[in-house]
Amino acid sequence: MKTNVIDPTSWDDDARIARGIKLRQQATARRARLLKHVFLIAFSGIMLYPLLWLVASSLKPEDQIFGSLSLWPSEWRWDNYTQGWNALPLSFTVFYKNSAIVTVLSVIGNLLSCSFAAYAFARLQFTGKTLFFGLMMMTMMIPYHVVLIPQYVLFLNLGWVDTYLPLIVPRFLAADGFFVFLMVQFFRQIPRELDEAAMIDGCSPFKIYWAVILPLSLPAMATAAIFSLIWVWEDFLAPLIYLNDINSYTVPLALRLFVDQEGQSAFGQMFAMSVLSLVPVLLFFVAFQKLIIRGIATSGMK
């Protein structure tokens, strides 16, 4: 620590020491940043390993997936992808198209209807608000498996079984309390002065929702869009129960056609198609997560 001793007599020294401190601070900051990167990269390795395993398995011949622990395929079976795409009675093109229809409509439905409900809960006064909020929370708590059959009977009587309606309509009716609650929490963080000012300007509640609340909630809406897309895309149980005709199957349902625990399976092709099924959601994630970040920049928040 000797070099750190400051000699008050020398101006020159003083300046040099000041520069030294600054350099050292920069070095510390650089080291901290480096450390952070090293940590992040190591951590990424752990996070990525299972995906690597999945990709590796998707490239292995069927009889080597379970026998060897090595990640490196002894021979590269790219045809798992090409054959897998057409291995089922219908090509995956059909399943992707079906999934796309269900997913796009569901995401739109979720964002619209849940933000309506959330705006009502977060900002408007009406009789029965607490009761309705409690009921909404309750719908999230009941295990889905016991409402499955009554719900099936209901949709059967409506004539909706074997159509996409049971998958889509509930999403336009804010059936997923998760998103309502999520948006409520974010809406309540927006300063009230903003809507009050708008109200004094004569804005209707709809105008306030549209022009004040929504633009200021971009991070929340982007988050909801991402979750909604991923969960609908990967949803398995509802399509399983409500879709009968293989022509209407979605991608997750199609993936389940590959593996027969009791008999002949096509694991390599299933892994290959599983990897491919991640691509659309991953692309969407990468595109939309920027909105979570940019949200604050555009909204400014005072």
Partner 1 sequence: MTLNRRKLLQSMTALAAAGALPLPAFAQDRAIRHFWWGNPERDRRTFEVIEGFKAANAGINVTGETIGWGDYWTKMATQTAGGNMADVIQMAHTYIHEYAGRGALRGLNDYVGKGLDLSHYDAGANDVGTIDGQLYGINIGSTSQAIPYNIAAFEKAGISFDPLTWTTDDFAAICQKITDATGGAMTGSEDLSLYIETFEVWCRAAGHDMYNTDGTLAMTAEDVASYWAFWGGLRDAGIVEGKDATVILDKGMADLGIVKGTAAMTFRYANQVGAVQSLMTDPVGAAMVPQRPGMGFGHYVLPSMFLCLTRDSADVEAALAYINNWITNPEAIKILGIDRGIPPSQIGRDTLEPTLSPVEKNVVAYFGGIQDKIGPVPNATPKGAGEVRDAFMRIGTDVVLGYTPADEAAGMFIQDAQDILARAAG
Partner 2 sequence: MRRFFRRNAAGYLFLSPWLVGFFLLALGPILASLYLSFTHYDMVSTPRWVGVDNYVYMFDRDRRFWRALSVTFHYVAIAVPLRLAMALAVAMLLDKGLRSIGVYRAIFYLPSLLGASIAIAILWREMFGLNGMVNEALAMIGITGIGWITTPSTSLYTIVILAMWQFGSPMLIFLAGLRGIPRDLYEAAEIDGTPKWRQFFRITLPMLAPVLFFNLVLQTIEAFKTFTSAFVISNGSGAPADSLLFYTVYLFNEAFKFFRMGYASALAWVLLIIIGAFTAVAFATSKYWVHYENERD
Q: Which residues of this chain interact with partner 1, rule CB under 8 A?
A: 62-67, 87-89, 101-102, 105, 108-109, 111-112, 148-149, 152-153, 156, 160-165, 168-169, 172, 214, 218, 221, 240-241, 243-248, 253, 256-267, 269
Binding-residue pattern over the window 170 to 199 for partner 2, x denoting contact by CB under 8 A: x-xxxx--x-xxx--xx-xxxxxx------
Q: Could you say which of 21, 38, 42, 296 contacts partner 2 (CB under 8 A)?
A: 296
Distance in angstroms (rounded) separating the CA atoms of residues 97 and 254: 12
Taken in order 98, 173, 223, 213, the sign of the CA dihedral is positive
Single out the segment in contact with partner 2 by CB under 8 A; choices: 7-15, 97-105, 243-251, 287-295.
287-295
Diameter of the chain measured on Cα atoms: 95
> Is there a contact between 139 and 177 (Cβ–Cβ < 8 Å)?
yes
Least Å distance between CB 40 and partner 2?
A: 5
Q: Is 200 in the site for partner 2 (CB under 8 A)?
A: no
Least Å distance between CB 15 and partner 1?
A: 54
Least Å distance between CB 43 and partner 2?
A: 8
- b/e string for 41-62 if b means 16 or more Cβ within 10 A? eeeeeeeeeeeeeebebbbbee
Residue with tokens 């209807």: 113
Q: How many CB atoms lie within 10 A of CB 248?
A: 19
Can you read off the two tokens belonging to residue 263?
């008999």
Distance in angstroms (rounded) separating the CA atoms of residues 196 and 272: 54
Single out the segment in contact with partner 2 by CB under 8 A; choices: 8-16, 83-91, 95-103, 285-293.
285-293
Single out the segment in contact with partner 2 by CB under 8 A; choices: 21-29, 73-81, 90-98, 293-301.
293-301
With respect to partner 1, which residue has the nearer C-beta, 164 or 186? 164
Least Å distance between CB 28 and partner 1?
A: 42
Residue with tokens 């555009």: 298
With respect to partner 2, which residue has the nearer C-beta, 13 or 292? 292
Q: How many CB atoms lie within 10 A of CB 88?
A: 19
With CB cut-offs between 5 and 8 Å by kind, which of partner 1, partner 2, none does residue 240 bind? partner 1
> Is there a contact between 168 and 109 (Cβ–Cβ < 8 Å)?
yes
